[in-house]
Every structure is written in C-alpha cells, then in structure tokens.
Amino acid sequence: MTTRLLTAEGLRAGYEGPVIGPLDFFVGAGEVVGLSGPNGCGKSTIMRVLTGEATVFSGRITRSDGLRLAYQPQTGFDTGETPLRVREVLRLMDVDAATLPERLRALLDVRVDRLSGGQRQLLMVWAAVGHPADLLLLDEPTNNLDPDGEALLAETLGTLGSQRGALVISHEQDFLRQVAHRLVEVA
C-alpha cells in the first residue's frame, strides 16, 4: 500500500466557524493530488490548516511522522523594504539554487522587489519545489506564469519521485488534469 503523507477524515475547518467539510482525502507518497472547486469554497483553507492559520472544528488531518512541508501561498510574500536578492531569499528558505531552472538561475542576483510578476511567481513556486520537503502545497502555482513556465512546472511535478507528494490548487482544469493523479472536488 502507498505510504500516506497526509490524510483528512471528516475534516471541518475554518476560522470563527467552519467554512469547509466534512471532507475526506489523502495524499500518498509519489502522488500529485489536485484540489478544485469554485472561488471561496475553501481550497486554500485546507492548506492553511496545515500552516496553523485555520482551525480544525471536527474530524482530523493527519501527517506522516516527521513530514516536512513546503508551502507556496496564493498571495505571495512580502520582503518589505529590505533589498534582498533572489539568492539570499532562497538561502533563507533553505533552497539549493542548483535545483532552479535555468531561467531563474539567471535572476539570482536580481533584487526580489524588482522582479516581474511572473518572475516572482516562478521564484515562489521553485522555492517550494526546490525545498527538501516531503509534501509540496502549491496554491495556484500557474498564476502569472507564461506557457513555458507552466510546462516546466508540469514537467517538474511529473518527476517528483516516489517519496514526495504534492497538493495542488488550480482553477486551470487543463493544468490540473495534466499534473494530478487524482482530483478532490471541494464543494
């Protein structure tokens, strides 16, 4: 049987009160699982349960022992006034620059506050993909990506290997169908 990295059972979660559930799904090692559903149905909330930003009201979500997570939030990150360069951000995030695709390696010495929207998105996505984590949480990773960036991401998710898994939220049905082994519909 596949090792389960993450298992949700009767999960009801949210903020002041539940906004999702009850929901059952799992992510096995070697699997990419897609989360789809309309705006506001609670897809990001599932990821926020794992980062501690949302609350479990009933049911549960279980991680495999010692599971390491990498999270690419939909909203991106703010480096504020500090003029960090791409290589410094990656170092802070414990990401090996050698794992980056060529088009991002060319940006290593650029200040992150001077990246274009798509370059910034590529950086966020590869900060998660390049992190030595067992489970990748990618929230709308294709936002702002051009077709080459999207193809590169699809290819990378296809070669995660048998030990790692990914939970991917996307409104792009074609992309999800291409990368996901299974889809979970969040109503």
Ligand X SMILES: Nc1ncnc2c1ncn2[C@@H]1O[C@H](COP(=O)(O)OP(=O)(O)OP(=O)(O)O)[C@@H](O)[C@H]1O
Give the binding site for ligand X (CB under 6 A): 15, 19, 37, 39-45, 74
User: Shortest gap between Cβ of 152 and ligand X (angstroms)?
Assistant: 23
User: Shortest gap between Cβ of 24 and ligand X (angstroms)?
Assistant: 17
Is the CB of 5 or the CB of 169 nearer to ligand X? Answer: 169
Is the CB of 6 or the CB of 112 nearer to ligand X? Answer: 6
User: Shortest gap between Cβ of 76 and ligand X (angstroms)?
Assistant: 13
Task: State how far the Cα of 29 lies from the Cα of 160, in Å rounded to an integer.
Answer: 10
User: Shortest gap between Cβ of 20 and ligand X (angstroms)?
Assistant: 7
Burial of residue 112, with CB atoms counted within 10 A of its CB: 0-12 exposed, 13-18 middle, 19 or more buried? buried
* Maximal C-alpha separation, the chain: 49
User: Shortest gap between Cβ of 45 and ligand X (angstroms)?
Assistant: 3
In contact, 122 and 149? CB cutoff 8 Å:
yes
Tell me how crowded residue 94 is: count the other CB atoms within 10 A of its CB.
12
Is the CB of 44 or the CB of 121 nearer to ligand X? Answer: 44
The residues, ordered by sequence, that sit 6+ positions from 48 with a Cβ below 8 Å of its Cβ are 54
Is the CB of 104 or the CB of 136 nearer to ligand X? Answer: 136
**Residues pairing with 23 in the sheet:** 11
Is the CB of 38 or the CB of 83 nearer to ligand X? Answer: 38
In contact, 34 and 168? CB cutoff 8 Å:
yes
